[in-house]
A = this chain, B = another copy of it.
């Protein structure tokens, strides 16, 4: 199974279309889809209303999601208490990809999908991207395409390659998770408009571009394992690495980090102990409160916003889209006031790439802490006097970006466009120099890519930002 995934990751020429053909096709699809997104006052939203006493923002069906308040208390970090709005969507949606072998190589069925918050309007999403409300037909539209393959009664006909629960943004969602699933089909299946087959290598190649592959795709592919070869790993690595020339040392190094079995700085038991220590030490208490009761937030006719303009706001949008199951609708959406920065610092330790992982507390976390990138923050001038808090390693990351030092990967990638309005994060992977210290603060540790992938299997270990950065790591060579 892992070998099938790896073969697909190393295949940069798809059987269905080349990456260049894909980009042309994407442009044509975009041109064929009519999109109009308009910011509107809350009062103009259909079926959405502010509940009388609480001022919570809800849908009249009681489904989809609501915007509510939470009161957060914790003994970690610089703020022991705060209140904030949060998206409450207590249901598990599907992020599903169908996979099929063409010419012996796994291809993934990807969709050109329009979401109201998407930069570029159209991004490449999983085959199926459906909330429970979607697939249980609350909105009375057509059922999502390819839904039937994922339904429980049909699934036994296919091979489940991956099927995990993964967390959403803990700073925005209250304990929200989605089911990340990849099914291999063996029969011919119809290719609908707006869908195409790509190899994992092609998806990785496209991840070098800004805002083409959506967050839902990134989280699903982040969980793909490569590391279960047992003894063959070294021989296998030798074969693969021979494919690479010197100038692609990065890919070969990442591949080795993804398949290593016993060449890590810390054993998995040590990492579990590190995480146990931190979870025992730090507490997170979250109480749901009415949106009306937030301390520093104000609801106006057009937005729910922080009084000092910090963090994010909730606004209303009207979407008119011509290729979607429901062609026109209104909804609340979250708009960030700044773009964010997520960065992994990596370092060769014992010759193997190790990732500097942060244990991070976010208000919506199911279990206090999740493993996050080395740096994860909103941007802004952090070095200015009066900044709330300068995260560790931020200076190193910003300097590296400024000097183009050790940058292995850099792009802008979007948050999910169904809930986030044109929100993007700069995604960066930086190779630290030899003298970068291996001793790190207590809530950081070093892990190989294979170890990170091991923790992804067990739900609520890696946060969505860490998974996004892992998804962009490629082993293939660009053509």
Contacts and interface: CB of A to CB of B under 8 A. Distances in A.
Interface of A: 1, 90-92, 152, 160, 162-165, 179, 181, 230-231, 268-270, 272-273, 276-277, 279-281, 283, 285, 366-367, 457-461
A269 B179 CA distance: 14
Contact of A1 (B269, B366, B460): B269
A163 B273 contact: yes
12 contacts: A90-B283, A90-B285, A163-B272, A164-B276, A165-B276, A179-B280, A181-B276, A231-B231, A272-B458, A276-B459, A367-B459, A458-B458
Contacts of A457: 268-269, 272
Given A165-B280, A279-B165, A367-B366, A270 B458 contact: no
A74 to B, nearest CB: 12
Nearest to A1: B269
B92 A179 contact: no
A152 to B, nearest CB: 7
Task: Give the copy number.
Answer: 2
A115 to B, nearest CB: 22
B179 A270 contact: no
B460 A367 contact: yes
Most chain B beta-carbon contacts within 10 A, residue among A92, A164, A279, A458: A458
A164 B280 CA distance: 10
A268 B283 CA distance: 31
A276 B163 contact: yes
Nearest to A280: B92
Most chain B beta-carbon contacts within 10 A, residue among A160, A230, A279: A160
A366 B91 CA distance: 16
Contacts of A160: 269-270, 273
A44 to B, nearest CB: 32
Contacts of A277: 152, 163
B366 A279 contact: no
Given A163-B272, A179-B280, 15 more contacts: A1-B269, A90-B283, A90-B285, A152-B277, A160-B270, A163-B277, A164-B276, A181-B273, A230-B230, A231-B231, A269-B457, A276-B459, A279-B459, A366-B367, A458-B458
A24 B73 CA distance: 51
Top-3 shortest CB links A-B: A163-B273, A458-B458, A92-B280
Contacts of A268: 457
